[in-house]
Amino acid sequence: MDLNGAAAIISGGASGLGEATARELAGTGATVVIADLNTERGKALADELGGVFVHTDVSDEASVQAAVEAAVATGRPLRAVVNSAGIGWASRTVGRDGAPHDLASYRKVIDVNLIGTFNLMRIGAAAMAKTEPADADNARGVVINTASVAGIEGQTGQVAYSASKGGIIGMTLPAARDLAAVGVRVLTICPGIIDTPIYGSGPEADAFKAKLSAPVPFPKRMGRASEFAHLVRALIENDYMNGEVVRFDGGIRFQPK
Ligand SMILES: NC(=O)c1ccc[n+]([C@@H]2O[C@H](COP(=O)([O-])OP(=O)(O)OC[C@H]3O[C@@H](n4cnc5c(N)ncnc54)[C@H](O)[C@@H]3O)[C@@H](O)[C@H]2O)c1
């Protein structure tokens, strides 16, 4: 799929992996629609890239509808939806103090990471389905979801986060099968440890990141957000990639802790 002259929505586009993706896709000639809760950063980036910012909560139906309408209102065909909004959470199923995992925080992580991804995928794909086909294959668009290696090798304390990401992995193939009828491909990327603001900043965050990335076989470092964005672009541009879950992790396999 060639994005030159098309519109692309990036949830979580105000920071980290989403921000890098917005930059990469704008570089292909796409008009980027940044859908994020963070108005300050999202608006500044959209202005810089000649795109559009829409204050969006991915877990909210009306909010995502408005973001997709803003993409359609650019007058360019919507050809890419990148789901990068997400939140982390650490809590054990039964804590060291014997208390069960808080149910509200479990629900919140599922709501943002899993339901939010589905919400934008379904509404975005419905808008793509209304566009004219882009090529002889009758291709109309591509959905890229962001899961995590944690959705495959969940570590202790990651029960909510891993469930949310495992859910994204699980819906990749059925969604690709559903959306074949409208010419939309679906792919999911599972990042390992990528250097973004999700880990916070300062000496404590640096020490945490160093510990997390120490087991990466090669290259022996964290991944870069620009490398993630490059993969998103490659998957969008390669028309035969569909229904697949792709690890993006320097070869790391998460251990129990
Ligand atoms: N950085 C990593 O190592 C890593 C690894 C695996 C998976 N991931 C996943 O990649 C995605 C992006 O992470 P990141 O590292 O760029 O994090 P980040 O914190 O830098 O960016 C996440 C963005 O999502 C936005 N967001 C959060 N909740 C939202 C909501 N309800 N509606 C709209 N926007 C919302 C935030 O405002 C923020 O701009 C997340 O889904 C994360 O779980 C990241």
pLDDT in tens, 94-130: 999 999 999 999 999 999 999 999 999 999 999 999 9
Cα of 36 vs centre of ligand 1, distance in Å, is: 10
Segment 232-254 mean pLDDT: 98
Annotated catalytic residue, options 106, 161, 199, 240? 161
Nearest alpha-carbon partner for 3 in 242, 236, 243 = 236
Domains of the chain from N-terminus onward: 7-246 (3.40.50.720)
pLDDT digits (tens, 9 = 90+) for 167-191: 999 999 999 999 999 999 999 999 9
Ligand 1 pocket test, candidate residues 10, 17, 64, most atoms within 8 A of CB? 17
Cα of first residue to Cα of last residue in the chain, in angstroms, is 40
Res 197: pLDDT: 96
Give per-residue burial for 130-159: e unless 16+ CB within 10 Å, then b: ebeebeeeebbbbbbbbbbbbbbbbeebbb
The question of whether 240 is a catalytic residue gets the answer no
- Residues 196, 199, 202, 205, CA torsion sign: negative
Cα of 189 vs centre of ligand 1, distance in Å, is: 13
Residue 38 near residue 57, CB atoms below 8 Å: no
Res 158: pLDDT: 98
Which residues have a Cβ under 8 Å from the Cβ of 65 and sit 6 or more positions away?
123
Give per-residue burial for 104-124: e unless 16+ CB within 10 Å, then b: eebebbbbbbbbbbbbbbbbb
**What does each C-alpha distance from 177 to 86, 119, 125, 225, 242 come to in angstroms?**
25, 17, 13, 29, 9
Protein residue closest via CA to atom 35 of ligand 1: 85
Cα of 22 vs centre of ligand 1, distance in Å, is: 13
Count Cβ atoms within 10 A of the Cβ of residue 228 and give its class: 0-12 exposed, 13-18 middle, 19 or more buried.
buried
What is the position in ligand 1's atom list of the atom closest to the CA of 38?
Answer: 37
Residue 123 one-letter amino acid: I
What is the position in ligand 1's atom list of the atom closest to the CA of 222?
Answer: 3
pLDDT digits (tens, 9 = 90+) for 22-45: 999 999 999 999 999 999 999 999
pTM for this prediction: 0.98
What is the position in ligand 1's atom list of the atom closest to the CA of 20?
Answer: 16
pLDDT digits (tens, 9 = 90+) for 130-165: 999 999 999 999 999 999 999 999 999 999 999 999
- Write out residues with Cβ below 6 Å of ligand 1: 11-12, 14-18, 36-38, 56-59, 84-87, 112-113, 116, 146, 148, 191, 193-194, 196-198
Cα of 138 vs centre of ligand 1, distance in Å, is: 32
Residue 166 near residue 154, CB atoms below 8 Å: yes
Q: How far apart are CA 70 and CA 237, in angstroms?
A: 23
